[in-house]
Amino acid sequence: MSPAGGATAASAGAANAMAPGQVAELTPRDFQAIAAIMYEDARISLSEAKTTLVQSRLARRLRKFGLARFCDYVDLVHSDAEERHAMVVALTTNHTHFFREPHHFDHFRETVIPILQRKQGPIRIWSAGCSSGEEVYTIAMCLLGPNRSNASWLRNADVRLLATDIAPHVVESVQRGVYAENVAAGVPEPYRSSWMKPTQGGFIMADEARQLVTAKVLNLFEPWPLKAAYDIIFCRNVMIYFGDPAKEELEHRFVEQLAPGAFLYIGHSERLIGPAATKMRSCGHTIYQKPESRA
């Protein structure tokens, strides 16, 4: 028997000796196999520094299937498309809060909303990588204004907000629009009193805000079923998980999806690279505008 075969046999013996529900350590080979799937499916680059995170997040998936070894789980995700997607979702990060990076929303309220109010025709806004919805509902509340009288301009406007994420469970959270009290505490008054209603254990978004939002599951590196050009795209603190080739690809697609004169907001530590950087102009920290078409 070869040394490799001996190691495999030893690993199998160790796995068999483990207590029920116990999961073996993630080996470098299995980590590389999982990292390759993450890059292929979601362009997420996992460094070896993430080994402990991968081990802890996927241990629950192994227990679900009664598996003790990651090599057996890798075999499973190679043969089961549903579990492969579940693995990708388990290894994505969903963290956000209301009015995050407030300078973006200052710009949105002071510069962009007056432009939208003068616009003839539909208004389309996209929160890409929306997580549990705090971002898209912050956008909705800014559009509605700090009190109900400010929302009158929306009555005759065709405004739609799209919120997308790769993780179905967070998309469901957006659709529910329910937030714990400590989460809603990040919403300044009078926005909270105008557009959030107390419910058991927290707050639910008002109907006026929820009616503006459509939430969908979407992998940003698969085809986008988007027919219209967008006036605003928010994609913040998403591209930090991608390598430069993936960032360049995604940013180029965002620019192509924007209407002339439209705005793109990215995360505070992100920057445009490649062709996208030459097609947009900076108008604030991590805020970009696509130039108007020339006659």
C-alpha 263/C-alpha 110 separation (Å) is 13
C-alpha 227/C-alpha 259 separation (Å) is 12
Q: Which of 282, 271, 268, 290 is nearest to 96 (CA)?
A: 268
Q: Name the pTM for this structure.
A: 0.86
> How many Cβ atoms from other residues are within 10 Å of residue 234's Cβ?
26
- Please, what sign has the CA dihedral across residues 294, 252, 107, 109? positive
Average pLDDT over the chain reads 91
Q: Which residue has the higher pLDDT, 13 or 282?
A: 282
Note the pLDDT of residue 18: 58
Model confidence at 4: pLDDT above 60: no
- Which SS3 state, helix, strand or coil, does residue 197 take? strand
Look at 9-23, 222-236, 275-289 and tell me which has the smallest mean pLDDT: 9-23
Model confidence at 26: pLDDT above 90: yes
C-alpha 157/C-alpha 49 separation (Å) is 49
Contact status, residue 38 vs residue 88, Cβ threshold 8 Å: yes
Note the pLDDT of residue 257: 97
Taking CA atoms, 253 is separated from 2, 158, 162, 227, 229, in Å, by: 49, 24, 16, 13, 11
Strand 230-235 versus strand 258-266 pairing type: parallel
Contact status, residue 76 vs residue 70, Cβ threshold 8 Å: no
Model confidence pLDDT, tens digit, residues 32-65: 999 999 999 999 989 999 999 999 999 999 999 9
Q: Which of 167, 164, 188, 192 is nearest to 88 (CA)?
A: 167
Q: Which residue has the higher pLDDT, 228 or 93?
A: 228
Model confidence pLDDT, tens digit, residues 252-292: 999 999 999 999 999 998 999 989 999 999 999 999 999 98
Note the pLDDT of residue 241: 86
Model confidence at 5: pLDDT above 50: no
Look at 14-23, 106-115, 285-294 and tell me which has the smallest mean pLDDT: 14-23
C-alpha 275/C-alpha 289 separation (Å) is 14
Note the pLDDT of residue 13: 47
Average pLDDT over residues 92-105: 90
Contact status, residue 186 vs residue 180, Cβ threshold 8 Å: no
Our measurement of the distance from residue 275's CA atom to the centroid of its chain's CA atoms, rounded to an integer in Å, reads: 23
C-alpha 244/C-alpha 45 separation (Å) is 10
Torsion of CA 209, 210, 211, 213, to 10 degrees: 100
Q: Which two three-digit tokens encode residue 200? A: 């058991």
- Please, what sign has the CA dihedral across residues 50, 52, 57, 63? positive
Note the pLDDT of residue 21: 66
Burial 100-117 (b: 16+ CB within 10 A, else e): bbeebbebbeeebbeebe
- Size of the chain, expressed as the number of residues it contains: 295
Q: Which of 99, 126, 83 is nearest to 224 (CA)?
A: 126
For residue 12, the surrounding DSSP H or E stretch is helix 3-17
